[in-house]
Amino acid sequence: MVSNSLTTKMQQKFAPSQIQYMKLLQLPSSQIEDRIKEEIEKNPLLEEDEKTEIQIEIPKIRTDSNGRVRTKNAEKKTEGFKVDPGSFNSQEASMYENLMEQLGLCDVDETEYEIGKEIIGNINDNGYLTRTTDAIVDDFFFSHSIEISQDEVEKMLRLVQSFDPAGVGARDLNECLSLQIKRTKLKGEEIDLAKQIILDANLFDMFKNKQYTQLLAKLSCSKEELEKAEGIIRQLNPKPFSGSEGIYENVYVTPDFYIWNNEGKVEFQLTRTFNKSLKLSPHYINMLEDLKKDAKKKVNEQAITFIRERIVSANEFMTALQRRDETLNKVMAAIIKFNYAYFLDGDITKLKPMRLVDIAQMTDCDISTISRFASNKYAQTHFGLYQIKRFFSNAVEDEQGNQISSDTIKDSLLKIIENEDKQKPYSDDKISELLKEEGYLLARRTVAKYRDVLHIPVARLRKTIS
């Protein structure tokens, strides 16, 4: 029996101009020029203003081969110069380009290509996917105004996971090693045993926890056979992008901001890769005026409608570009103000915890706007090149009750693990004690969480065979 029912639901819809602004805001400076040229080609009413050229003067920042400032006080004087956008190398950008090149060789339609691009954009510098597939569905709707299913994302993720290096796009260690072991062409009992361990979640948990007695019973193998399988597994790469030198060569990133210390004052400049202003085409404006004088003919009415629509579209695009620049400048100014002491010299111990909501409140922007601002953008500072999202971190209290950045804790944790005896690596409890000696009060489970974020294995997996 057919029945009628009335339901109500709330749905947020954005105006086309707002969607265009959000898309432009999310784009890094390196892609803005291409986006502007694309719009000019699409809309004949929009053109470059040849009479105006925007000149940007950036202070010179002398850095060494690692992107670090040469001396602490080397930049007390600043001088203007034209920046070469390809003068700052980014390993992460090169990995992105390599994956995009592989995607471009695949037989996919336009939507699938964009989904693949979205997935690749969320792979971190260790080769792991940092967003869930359902989150990518939401991201895709905001960036493309197209609804896609989770199955479509999963399909494209499987394609990306087939790219080189093996293991890329994995969501956890088990999946990373599974992707690698499935590709091996080696044969032998130890290979089969290694595959059996990795591809079975329960066996892999036993392996990670070094529960060898239970493993031997489950696998019905000898200790020697298990040792050989363990050797195979240890040859796999838990960080697919590490050590892949061929991927990282000759690819560069254009910083979206330059930040410098000008005689004790922190200043910044938004990068402009497109140095011409835009304007409405005088030719078509004059044509519109002539057509309006003779609007009796139907063909003229169609032409008038076409030109008016393109005028609206051009004005919306120019307004969105202006809003983008204003938002980028406003948000970066707030970030520098919030962490002014840190930006003076780059001392990570001075980095205060900063959340998206903190900057949203300072700028009267929505949190989603701040998130788009931080996405895929870089800042070249006088102490190195950084992803802007790295300036955001959660708060942790020290012994005195002062709030410090979680990045400071991670930095200390990394140093502790780097200096440990690899034959007797520190447990999470021991690391917690050592951090306490530095004044950081962290529970064992918090240490474990930070260690996982940094993709550092537990102590038993860091142990080397004596």
Per-residue pLDDT, averaged over 294-319, amounts to 80
Per-residue pLDDT, averaged over 330-334, amounts to 95
- Cα distance between residue 417 and residue 228, in whole Å: 27
- Cα distance between residue 375 and residue 404, in whole Å: 24
Per-residue pLDDT, averaged over 34-49, amounts to 88
Structural domains in the chain, CATH included, are 23-68+255-388 (no CATH), 91-169 (1.10.10.1330), 174-235 (no CATH), 393-462 (1.10.10.60)
User: Which among 326-335, 386-395, 398-407, 411-420 has the top mean pLDDT?
Assistant: 326-335
Task: Give tens-digit pLDDT for 90-123.
Answer: 444 467 778 888 888 888 888 999 999 989 988 8
Residue with tokens 């809003």, as numbered in its chain: 323
Q: Tell me the whole-structure pTM to 2 decimals.
A: 0.53
Residues 6+ apart with CB under 8 A from 462: 417, 420, 422, 425, 456
Residue among 32, 1, 91, 86 at smallest CA distance from 320: 32
Lowest mean pLDDT among 72-86, 114-128, 350-364: 72-86
Q: What is the pLDDT of residue 252?
A: 54
Per-residue pLDDT, averaged over 120-144, amounts to 85
Whether residue 84 has pLDDT greater than 60: no
Residue among 92, 119, 138 at smallest CA distance from 368: 138
CB 23 within 8 A of CB 143: yes
SS (H, E, C) the chain: CCCCCCCCCCCCCCCHHHHHHHHHHHCCHHHHHHHHHHHHHHCCCEEEEEEEECCCCEECCCECCCCCECCCCCCCCCCEECCCCCCCECHHHHHHHHHHHHHHCCCCCHHHHHHHHHHHHCECCCCEECCCHHHHHHHHHHHHCCCCCHHHHHHHHHHHCCCCCCCCCECCHHHHHHHHHHHCCCCCHHHHHHHHHHHCHHHHHHHHCCCHHHHHHHHCCCHHHHHHHHHHHHHCCCCCCCCCHHHCCCCECCCCEEEEEECCEEEEEECCCCCEEEEECHHHHHHHHHHHHCCCCHHHHHHHHHHHHHHHHHHHHHHHHHHHHHHHHHHHHHHHHHCHHHHHHCCHHHCCCECHHHHHHHHCCCHHHHHHHHCCCEEEECCEEEEHHHHCECEEEECCCCEEEHHHHHHHHHHHHHCCCCCCCCCHHHHHHHHHHCCECCCHHHHHHHHHHCCCCCHHHHCCCC
Q: What is the pLDDT of residue 334?
A: 95
Please state the length of the chain: 466
Task: Give tens-digit pLDDT for 8-22.
Answer: 554 555 677 788 888
- Cα distance between residue 282 and residue 286, in whole Å: 6
Q: What is the largest CA-CA distance in the chain?
A: 94
Residue among 27, 29, 26, 54 at smallest CA distance from 379: 29
- Cα distance between residue 355 and residue 378, in whole Å: 18
pLDDT classification of 399: cutoffs 50, 70, 90 = low
The tokens for 132 are 């869930």
- Rounded to 5°, angle at Cα 375 from 371 and 380: 120
Per-residue pLDDT, averaged over 180-188, amounts to 81
Lowest mean pLDDT among 234-243, 305-314, 365-374: 234-243
The tokens for 388 are 């802007």
The tokens for 316 are 């919306």
- Cα distance between residue 154 and residue 318, in whole Å: 37
